[in-house]
Amino acid sequence: MSHFAVSQIAVTVPVSSDLSIRRSAFKGFNLNFRDKSWAPVFSLDLKAKNSGRRNHNVICMSVQQASVPKVAVSPLELENATEPPLNLHKPKEPYTATIVSVERLVGPKAPGETCHIVIDHGGNVPYWEGQSYGVIPPGENPKKPGAPHNVRLYSIASTRYGDFFDGKTASLCVRRAVYYDPETGKEDPSKNGVCSNFLCNSKPGDKIQVTGPSGKIMLLPEDDPNATHIMIATGTGVAPYRGYLRRMFMESVPKFKFGGLAWLFLGVANSDSLLYDDEFTKYLNDYPNNFRYDRALSREQQNKNGGKMYVQDKIEEYSDEIFKLLDNGAHIYFCGLKGMMPGIQGTLKRVAEERGESWEEKLSLLKKNKQWHVEVY
């Protein structure tokens, strides 16, 4: 069973191996990424005729906002390991998991399609925040007839407890890779991304071959619960940060009480392309002293020079503050397409030189102190 605590009231939602029940529980709590109703909040009767009752309800709402209820998670044994799980399931012996749900994350004006995919691993492929799963799409490898496809890696977009808070699911954030012929401008399905289309086309109950988990570079350091974490993402690179932030702000984890600063920079094309925006906006409202959130919308905003606003332009806006935080031990993370890094590195180098510092020396020190975390693809 999963317990959702709201102020003084606890709600129990059945979490079963029956996927239909689990999906209905998921929907029952409106964990919807396009609206602001994902939190387990009760609607209060503000139309009551008794004015005293109305005042009481308003007070209840303010108490609820002040206390910011967190969700109970299980099994807490997932906190006991001192080392992250690694490569429990290898490509030659993948784990057969089950698709729970596939949901489109972006609005109609977003270029391309990005999906949130929940996978039931039954507790058999545990992972830590910041790790990746490998997925082997069905069919044979065209370059090696008779052999399976190569493994595709996807950053996990949930905490170790998953979106049902029961330790049995993992979520992926996947953009459908579509190829358009440069001459005709038409889609060529034969060149589309095999794995991303398999995942985005999958239906609840479908089977999926999973490997891993893998990766240590993006693990969330938890030795100092009051540390600063600066997270920079383009597009689906936001996946690991969703896991971090749910652990920091949504889940009630006895061993990890976050009291530091989490600062997210997210670069996407336009407002319709924003991913998990309602979750992040809620943290901003509930934890204004612990969370900052800056969006770079390249097709809707302009940088100071009148060009498109990319994530590196947002970083430059706050460069003095970012450099001071790094000097004080902040961790900085980069996740997304590898094409994001030259522009970001160029901006950081220029800012460092303007401050009379050597970027090469600073970068070397950040890496030495394990403050610099990069996962690009």
Angle at 201 between CA 200 and CA 202, to 5 degrees: 95
Which residue, among 15, 13, 158, 159, has the nearest Cα to 79 in the 3D structure? 159
- Sequence-distant (≥ 6) Cβ neighbours of residue 166 within 8 angstroms: 2, 15, 73, 74, 75
The answer to whether the 76-214 and 228-376 domains have the same CATH topology is no
Please give the structure tokens belonging to residue 349: 């180098």
Instruction: Write out residues in the chain with pLDDT < 70, as ranges.
Output: 1-67
Predicted local confidence at residue 67, as pLDDT: 60
Based on the residue annotation, tell me whether 335 is a catalytic residue of this protein: yes
Residue 237: CB atoms within 10 Å = 25
Alpha carbon distance 250, 248 (integer Å)? 6
Q: Which of 101, 155, 158, 202 is catalytic?
A: 155
User: Please, what's the largest Cα pairwise distance for the chain?
Assistant: 74
Predicted local confidence at residue 40, as pLDDT: 39
Alpha carbon distance 356, 276 (integer Å)? 38
What pTM did the predictor assign? Answer: 0.83
Residue 250 near residue 160, CB atoms below 8 Å: no
Binding residues: 155, 175, 236, 298-299, 308, 336-337, 375
Based on the residue annotation, tell me whether 300 is a catalytic residue of this protein: no
The answer to whether domain 228-376 has CATH 3.40.50.1360 is: no
Based on the residue annotation, tell me whether 316 is a catalytic residue of this protein: no
Predicted local confidence at residue 180, as pLDDT: 79
Domains of the chain by residue range: 76-214, 228-376
Residue 36: CB atoms within 10 Å = 14
Predicted local confidence at residue 181, as pLDDT: 74
Alpha carbon distance 249, 251 (integer Å)? 6
Instruction: Provide the sign of the torsion angle of the four alpha carbons 26, 28, 34, 39, taken in this order.
Output: negative
pLDDT tens-digit profile of 124-154? 999 999 999 999 999 999 889 999 999 999 9
Determine the topology of domain 76-214 in CATH. Elongation Factor Tu (Ef-tu); domain 3 (2.40.30)
Predicted local confidence at residue 14, as pLDDT: 39
Based on the residue annotation, tell me whether 187 is a catalytic residue of this protein: no
Predicted local confidence at residue 9, as pLDDT: 36
- β-pairing, 261-268 with 152-155? unpaired
Based on the residue annotation, tell me whether 333 is a catalytic residue of this protein: no
Q: Which of 173, 195, 200, 335 is catalytic?
A: 335
pLDDT tens-digit profile of 311-363? 999 999 999 999 999 999 999 999 999 999 999 999 999 999 999 999 999 99
Please give the structure tokens belonging to residue 256: 């990890």
Binding residues for NADP(+): 155, 175, 236, 298-299, 308, 336-337, 375
Predicted local confidence at residue 286, as pLDDT: 97
Which residue, among 14, 165, 112, has the nearest Cα to 337 in the 3D structure? 112
- β-pairing, 152-155 with 132-136? antiparallel
Predicted local confidence at residue 194, as pLDDT: 92
Alpha carbon distance 337, 1 (integer Å)? 38
Please give the structure tokens belonging to residue 263: 């600062």
Q: Which of 127, 154, 283, 333 is catalytic?
A: 154
